[in-house]
Amino acid sequence: MTIGIPKEIKNNENRVGLTPAGVAEMKKYNHVVYVQTNAGESSGFSDAEYEEAGATILVSIEETYAIAEMIIKVKEPIESEYNLIKKDQLLFTYFHFASSEPLTHAMMERGAVCLAYETVEKLDRSLPLLVPMSEVAGRMAIQQGAKYLEKPQKGKGILLGGVPGVPPAKVLVLGGGIVGTQAAKMAAGLGARVVIMDVSLQRLRHLSDIMPPNVITIMSNYYNIREAIAEADLIVGAVLIPGAKAPNLITRDMLKLMRPGTVVVDVAVDQGGCIETCKPTTHENPTYIIDDIVHYCVANMPGAVPYTSTLALTNATLPYALQLANKGWKKACLENDELKKGLNVANGKIVYKGVAEAWGLPFIEVNTIL
C-alpha cells in the first residue's frame, strides 16, 4: 500500500502520525511510505532519519495527499486539507466527529474512509488509542502541579516531596482511571501524601492493592470531597463519565474552603472539567487565578511533550496501521472488531451511531459496507 504522512498543520500540534521506526516496519511488508518534509521535525525526527528508514520525502502537503492510498495523521484534517482528500482514501487519525459538524459533512462529501483513533475499542470497552495520551497527561499533571505550587508561580510555595524534617505536600486526585492512576504514581514517587477518590469501589480496591503506602483511596462523594480539598495542596481533576460532560465535583463556592495558593490541574477540562471554575487554557498561557486558587486547565497537555507523545501514540497505533496496510481496510475491519469500531464515515455515509446522533444525520450499519 502507498502511505502518506503529512505534516500536522493544526495550531500547536507538534506530533506526527508515524515515526522512522514505523516507516521501517511498513517497509518490512513492502509498503511504500511518503513523508512530507519536516513532518517529524517538532517531534524530534529529521527528514534524514525518515529517509534512512526507507521513506521518500515529498515537498508539499498536496503531493503527500495525492499519492497516498492511506494517510496516517494525528489530528483531524482542518479546512484547508478537505479538498486534498480523494474519494476512497483511507484516513487513520483522531477525528472527534461529534464535536465538528462541518468536518463530518466534508468527509462524507469527499468520500473518504475515516477510521477514527478515538473509537477503536477493545472487547473490554477500553479505548487503546486514547490511553497513551491519558498516560502522558496524568504524569504531566504532577510535573505541572509541582511547578505551579512554587511561590513565583503564585502557588503556596511548598515542595511536593518535602525534605527531612518537613512534611511533603498533600495531593488529591479526583478519578482513579488512567489519568488518575498515572498522576498518583508520579506524586507518590516524588514523596507526596496522595489521596485518590473514585466512585467505583472495584477501582478503589484495585488501586489500594497496587499503590505504594503513601497513597490512600477514599470513596468520592460530596462530603469527602469537601473535607479533602481543605487539606490538599494540589488537586488533579481526572474524572470521566463516557459520553457525558464531566460532573462539577468542586463548585465555585467550595473554593473558599481551600487554602490560598492551592493548585488545581483539571485534566478533564476537555470534557468540561470537574471543577466549576475551570475553563480551557493553552500552553502559552496555562494558568489563571480565581479566589487565590491557581487553575491549570490546558486542554491539550500532551502537546507540550511531542517527543514522548508521538512515541506513545504510535506505539499504540502502529499495530493497527499495519493491519490496515497489509489487508486493506475492509478485510482488516472484517477480521478485527476493534478496528471495525473505529470506522466512522465511509462511502459518503456515517457508520458510527454516536456521530449520526450528534448531528441528526442518517446512520447505516457498518457491516453493510464491508
Query: Does 175 interact with ligand NAD (rule: CB under 6 A)?
Result: yes
* Residue recorded with cell 468527509: 107
- Is 124 assigned a catalytic role? no
For ligand NAD, the binding residues in 335-354 under the rule CB under 6 A are none
- Is 253 assigned a catalytic role? no
Query: Does 301 interact with ligand NAD (rule: CB under 6 A)?
Result: yes
Interface map 250-289 toward ligand NAD (x if CB under 6 A): -----------------xxxxx------------------
Query: Does 133 interact with ligand NAD (rule: CB under 6 A)?
Result: yes
Query: Does 143 interact with ligand NAD (rule: CB under 6 A)?
Result: no
Query: Does 37 interact with ligand NAD (rule: CB under 6 A)?
Result: no
Query: Closest separation between CB of residue 301 and ligand NAD, Å?
Result: 3
For ligand NAD, the binding residues in 184-213 under the rule CB under 6 A are 197-200, 203
Query: Closest separation between CB of residue 121 and ligand NAD, Å?
Result: 13
- H/E/C letters for each residue in the chain? CEEEECCCCCCCCCCCCCCHHHHHHHHHCCCEEEEECCCCHHHCCCHHHHHHHCCEEECCHHHHHHHCCEEECCCCCCHHHHCCCCCCCEEEECCCHHHCHHHHHHHHHHCCEEEEHHHCCCCCCCCCCCHHHHHHHHHHHHHHHHHHCCHHHCCCCCCCCCECCECCCEEEEECCCHHHHHHHHHHHHCCCEEEEEECCHHHHHHHHHHCCCCEEEEECCHHHHHHHHHHCCEEEECCCCCCCCCCCCECHHHHHHCCCCCEEEEHHHHHCCCECCCCCECCCCCEEEECCEEEECECCHHHHCHHHHHHHHHHHHHHHHHHHHHHCHHHHHHHCHHHHCCEEEECCEECCHHHHHHHCCCECCHHHHC
Residue 262 or 271 with smaller CB distance to ligand NAD: 271
The whole-angstrom distance between residue 337's C-alpha and the CA centroid of its chain comes to 22
Residue nearest ligand NAD by beta-carbon distance: 177
Query: Closest separation between CB of residue 23 and ligand NAD, Å?
Result: 27
Stretch that binds ligand NAD, among 16-24, 85-93, 178-186, 321-329 (CB under 6 A): 178-186
Query: Closest separation between CB of residue 79 and ligand NAD, Å?
Result: 23
Q: Exactly one of 31, 266, 270, 295 is catalytic; name it.
A: 270
Residue 164 or 242 with smaller CB distance to ligand NAD: 242
Residue 269 or 351 with smaller CB distance to ligand NAD: 269
Query: Does 241 interact with ligand NAD (rule: CB under 6 A)?
Result: yes
Q: Exactly one of 96, 105, 206, 292 is catalytic; name it.
A: 96
Which residues contact ligand NAD (rule: CB under 6 A)? Answer: 133-134, 137, 174-180, 197-200, 203, 220, 238-241, 246-247, 249, 267-271, 299-302
